[in-house]
Structure 1
Amino acid sequence: MAAVRGPEFRPDTWNGRYDDASFPALAAEWAGTARVAAGPLDGDTRAALQLQVICNDSDWPERLGYYRRAVERERERHPMFGPAAANVNPCAFWPVERAEPPVRVGGPGPPNVLLVQNERDPATPLPGARETRAAFGARARMVAVGAGGHGVFTRDNACGNEAGPDQRARRRPAGRGPEPRFPARDLGTVNRPKRGRAETLSWSA
């Protein structure tokens, strides 16, 4: 497919899955009806900043054989896009080691952790969010938004936007305004983009 559609085909597929609004254009490209523009890819600065975070955060395999085996395995399991995701990336050649150990999630603390997660996030899937929620225990609540894409806030999703900025606005410094409020329970949401409505969030003091 990449040989037919052009070198931008796989990056376009990667990026297009990060936002539901990109699906029509992505589908058109897969169908062969989109025009492939020649020239260098943009977004170099954004990609560099992303690599700085993910390559420093984790200890990535450095042997190329690991990635060769992963690509072959993913060809069978997920032929549409698995090989591209499993392939070698700059983190395998990162020149510095991680400076600090990874942060351990959990432990005692105040109940002030709010996780807002898209149910169909292609980059950070829902099972991982559930594991994080479980690690925080009683300290956290999670709102699972019925949408795809990577990132919830500022997108055309009323429920996700209500869960985040609205929750932060409810918090006030001690002694100034009402006491902070927190979701009474974890919430699974059903987004209804055609009607512009979503499940109403319930909060408790």
Structure 2
Amino acid sequence: SICKVFRYKFEHALIGLFDAGRLEHDFHDRMEFMGFIKKVVNKKDWIVHLEQPIQMPEQVIQYVGRYSKRACLSEYKITAMDGENISFRYRDYKNSPDRRNPVEKELTLHYREFFPRLLQHVPLRYFRIVRYYGFYSNKGSLPEEYFGRDESEIEEAELQQAESGYENPYFCERCGRTRVYSHTTVTGGGMTYTVILEHCDIHRKKAA
């Protein structure tokens, strides 16, 4: 199938980069790297999404328009409502054999549970959503010790933002332009998390 062919070619090229010393990694040797490919990467089935390339600008606008203003839950999927509970239909991709032909199911939730779930799919202001990201997704995670950080650092950053009077954290109050992301640094000893945002050519500001 196309999925197996794509996975073979992708992994073959990845192994070639490893053997040539052009792949940044933390593996001790080739045996450990190949074990990761076979036992971790190949443990799940790969899903390849293919579409015809978009040729005309009108097609791009139509494609983006379908998702930019689309609701996360359509009205027609809501089947019943009362004073306490809301029932709706959904597609169960998680329990589908190949995740391509999901079974449609119905779920009933109390409104106190329904709305928090619904709002998880509403992006915060100034955030954007990418529908398909595939192997570009970030599978890495911060070490567990970072989850125990003192939240006073975040509160201090929020306080500074509130005092500045600017709602958009990416807006530069000095030059009136949008800040450009430079890099993020994370250190373990002092539990320091710093995001560097460059804006003016003559000024840089650090924001936690």
TM-score under structure 1 normalisation?
A: 0.28
Larger-gyration structure (1/2)? 2
More helix by share: 1
More strand by share: 2
TM-score under structure 2 normalisation?
A: 0.28
